[in-house]
Structure 1
């Protein structure tokens, strides 16, 4: 590492608070943005700490040890990406803020150049430009990747919750349960139902399960097949299955597919099915 590089490194470290203050001064009043000039003092302090970490990460690229920069880069991306995901900050806003960080950072390098003009050659300036601009490019990429990982992780959790709620097995007695299905039934949702409904029924000790389709708006032949498979799996598990609210078009599609629902009780409404089931229980 050249002595001049060490001198620049130490100069930038000493200037970290000033660099951050200069960057914060570039903010404007923006509605619903963490980067807004009128953001609360707590948010400003968070930005100050994170910008310090940003500049520290970039500055570490001047060192001969690439591992230090890589370690700082991953730590920075993890901290900042999680913060931006939690604040619902669009990725384009972050990139814009990082562009301003780069502009601010280079102003201080120009100041260093001005103070040490007699020592610095054009080769030194070109070397710094390549190293530092490459460092900025790398943190852009690292941030985008980490941000997307957090977003996808959050989406997976939300989707898992939606899937869990989309086919609930509700116990109405110790041994009787009902699955009220509402909305569109596409192939993906039907496949998830095939996995979850038998498992939930087994866990809840359900002996008789009512699958109500009266709230289903759209169903195709592939979904009809999946519903048929659900009834077959439930039968193998010892759970009796009754389908209610089945519409003529579904019954017609099932017949065309050769699906035999003759061994499964079907009713036009859940109320009618319950009336018959509980009258049998009473007797």
Structure 2
């Protein structure tokens, strides 16, 4: 081969740069793309793909893709996940790859007298770019999905562990649904911060809506009670089911400093908030 691959690549890059708008437009006219409701983000990704391919052509080795990501930031990834489907991006990248390859076969090869080896070299680089691009898109999609799930669970935890003031210093925390390890950790952090910030001295945990807990969660519950006691909060447990009581006993957890009543009304009466005549 009389020409260096780097030399011919630079010549090809100039041609690609001159035709990148046409390349993207061809892809966007494809059936899968033309019906998409948000084409701006798709076009941006395809332009970045071409720019990376151009940089790859003139580089001695594959460029550092982290310096030229198809999707720039966490914010872009979150917005992209809402506006563009991952299948549309992948279909578009495949269509872009085919469009570029067709252009090379029909125009560039004859224009620059590319040999078979040179054409195969370009094809190899194009395949590497498309594989890396799809890998990035899938990774961004997974990250955005996980982030949305985390945000959903955070909101759900806030709603499912409310702390409601009965008086200025007394509050009730009705717990509804199954408590797992993640929710047990949230329960501890949330109640500690809320009781401290709101200067709560008496907290009633209503457990009547909790069907069951395992040994790990029983240990978390004990940690919550002990931690609250350290900041001066008196705890009352109400509505503890027999199976939960059995788990607590099996764990050898002792609630010596905890008031235990069968229901919320009794807890409020014991705290002097309501009288027996009001029950």
Shared fold (TM-score greater than 0.5)? yes
- How many residue pairs get aligned? The number is 268
1:53-132 correspondence runs (5 A): 53-64=48-59, 70=65, 73-74=68-69, 76-78=70-72, 81-87=77-83, 89=85, 91-116=86-111, 119-132=113-126
C-alpha displacement of 1:222? 3.3
Match of 2:169 in 1: 175
Where structure 2 has 5 or more consecutive residues not aligned to the other structure, the ranges are none
- In structure 2, what is the equivalent of residue 32 of structure 1? none
Length-normalised TM-score, structure 1: 0.82
Question: 1:206 corresponds to which residue?
Answer: 200
Change (3 A) 1:6 1:256: closer
What RMSD, in angstroms, separates the aligned Cα atoms of the two structures? 2.7
- The answer to which of 119-128 and 132-141 deviates more is 132-141
Question: What is aligned with 2:237?
Answer: 243
1:157-196 deviations in Å (ceiling 9; x for gaps): 3333333333222222211111110011123322332233
How far off its partner does 1:131 sit? 2.0
Query: CA contact under 8 A between 1:168 and 1:180: conserved in structure 2?
Result: yes
Q: Provide closer, same or farther for how the CA distance between residues 256 and 135 of structure 1 changes in structure 2, counting only shifts above 3 A.
A: closer
Q: Alignment partner of 2:117: what SS? A: helix
Q: Does structure 1 residue 38 correspond to structure 2 residue 35?
A: yes
Q: Which residue matches 2:20?
A: 16
> 1:66–1:148: structure 2 CA closer, same or farther, 3 Å change rule?
farther
The offset of 1:9, in angstroms, is: 0.8
TM-score normalized by structure 2?
A: 0.83
Query: Does structure 2 conserve the Cα–Cα contact (< 8 Å) formed by 1:207 and 1:240?
Result: yes
